[in-house]
A = this chain, B = another copy of it.
Amino acid sequence: VNRFGKNAALRVWTTAPFNAEPPLDLLVGSLVTPIELFYVRNHGEVPEVDPAAYRLEVVGMVDRPLELSLEDLRDGFARVTLDATLNCAGNRRSQLIDVEPIPGEVPWRDGAIGNGSWTGARLADVLAAAGVDPGARHVSFAGLDESEANGHVMSFGGSIPLVKAVSPETLLAYELNGAALPPVHGFPVRALVPGYIGARSVKWLSAITVGAEPSTNYFQTRAYKLFPRDVRPETADWDKGIVLGELSVNSAICRPGDGKTVPAGQALVEGWASAGGDRLVARVEVSRDGGKSWLEAQLVGAGRAWTWCLWRARLEPEPGPCELVVRAWDSAANTQPEDPAEIWNLKGYVNNAWQRVRITVAEGPLERARSPLASRPPSAPPR
């Protein structure tokens, strides 16, 4: 592991700030993502926080402003543990870049997603302690980091609707996978907003502000907005665009990897699928012929809100070049759009077009060393 606690196999896109994602074949090894494989999306250096001196402010439209120490948060509120998936709004951007370049943004493949077991206090409980004014509608988060955007240095921030803030799945998390939150993931406390783009789960949380309006932080008002396909940076009206919040239904093939050669016969294909909001993954379909025919995949860990599921399918592709495709449906009957060109957007957010992987199927069995499928037993998620 490196100094950020990450597996050396991660693809590091930038080191300052640190941005990295795991190899896809390792990512689908378990339903709960090990910390060393969990992707990192940072906008600035990781702040060093003294836990003894740490204070979290709860201010704005509240009856009793709070200033909570880490101890207050741990001991003063019920301790809740839940599984939730974080998914970067830029995940799968690389396939939009294949349509048309998107300068200045991290070219994430399909690994800017991870599923954690989070422990913390319910934000609802903390807000109840502060007493929320009747006119409040939004809850804003601000971090201790110094992030760069648009040539300025600022703390990262964002907001969520009050109705989401008081939902039981929204936490102020201080542990990940049973251990203290690692510095790179927001030590000592981060917001955890399941079902929303990862950016709303603000790290190194310093202040929670209850208000009538959304956050005015740059990362709420300018970044993380979805523009129509024909809008270019020079023509964008940054006051417009869809402010991203809940995620859409999405999926990716993780094994075999793009460009691999697999032996003839049965090919085990595996990946992840996720639904946004409180929706569930309802169906995953895989094609071995570029989308002409489809097979329903077997789901692992489906049926729970807030978390991804893994999936697997055994295909029998013909020898030669083979294009695998995956698409998912959620419990609201939404499905993924086919063509990334139709959802291309100038910042490259929330790509959920059908994901395609091109492999070669050998005429016969491969030597073990050449096959990603033969060299590893089928993944057996621990839960």
Residues of A that sit less than 8 Å from B by CB: 226, 228-230, 242, 244-249, 276-277, 279, 282-283, 285, 293-294, 296, 329, 331-339, 342-343, 349-350, 352
**A285–B343 Cα gap in the complex (Å)?**
12
From B230, B296, B343, give the contact of A335 (CB < 8 A). Answer: B343
Q: Are B242 and A283 in contact (CB under 8 A)?
A: yes
Q: Chain B nearest CB: distance from A6 CB in Å?
A: 28
**Neighbouring B residues of A248 by C-beta, 8 Å:** 332-335
**Neighbouring B residues of A247 by C-beta, 8 Å:** 332-333
**Neighbouring B residues of A294 by C-beta, 8 Å:** 228-230
Q: Are A293 and B230 in contact (CB under 8 A)?
A: yes
Please give me the residue from chain B that is nearest to A343 by CB atom: B335
**Neighbouring B residues of A335 by C-beta, 8 Å:** 248, 337, 342-343
Q: Are B277 and A277 in contact (CB under 8 A)?
A: yes
Q: Chain B nearest CB: distance from A136 CB in Å?
A: 17
**Neighbouring B residues of A338 by C-beta, 8 Å:** 337-339, 342
**Neighbouring B residues of A230 by C-beta, 8 Å:** 293-294
Q: Are A244 and B343 in contact (CB under 8 A)?
A: no
Q: Chain B nearest CB: distance from A138 CB in Å?
A: 14
**A283–B240 Cα gap in the complex (Å)?**
11
Q: Please name 15 pairs of A and B residues whose Cβ atoms are closer than 8 Å in the assembled complex, sorted by A.
A: A226-B282, A226-B329, A228-B294, A228-B296, A242-B329, A242-B333, A245-B331, A246-B279, A246-B331, A247-B333, A333-B350, A334-B334, A334-B352, A335-B342, A338-B338
**Neighbouring B residues of A282 by C-beta, 8 Å:** 226, 242
Q: Are A246 and B339 in contact (CB under 8 A)?
A: no
**Neighbouring B residues of A296 by C-beta, 8 Å:** 228
Please give me the residue from chain B that is nearest to A240 by CB atom: B296
> Which of A276, A285, A333, A338 has the most B CB atoms < 10 Å from its CB?
A333
Q: Are B226 and A332 in contact (CB under 8 A)?
A: no
Q: Are B245 and A332 in contact (CB under 8 A)?
A: yes
Closest 3 A/B residue pairs (Cβ)? A246-B332, A248-B334, A248-B333
Please give me the residue from chain B that is nearest to A197 by CB atom: B333
**A230–B336 Cα gap in the complex (Å)?**
18
From B249, B283, B331, B342, give the contact of A334 (CB < 8 A). Answer: B249
**Neighbouring B residues of A228 by C-beta, 8 Å:** 283, 285, 294, 296
**Neighbouring B residues of A279 by C-beta, 8 Å:** 246, 277
Please give me the residue from chain B that is nearest to A329 by CB atom: B242
Q: Are A333 and B285 in contact (CB under 8 A)?
A: no
Q: Are B245 and A276 in contact (CB under 8 A)?
A: no
7 more CB-based (< 8 A) A-B contacts, given A228-B285, A245-B331, A248-B334: A228-B296, A246-B332, A246-B333, A247-B332, A249-B334, A333-B349, A338-B338
Q: Chain B nearest CB: distance from A160 CB in Å?
A: 12
**A343–B333 Cα gap in the complex (Å)?**
10
**Neighbouring B residues of A249 by C-beta, 8 Å:** 334
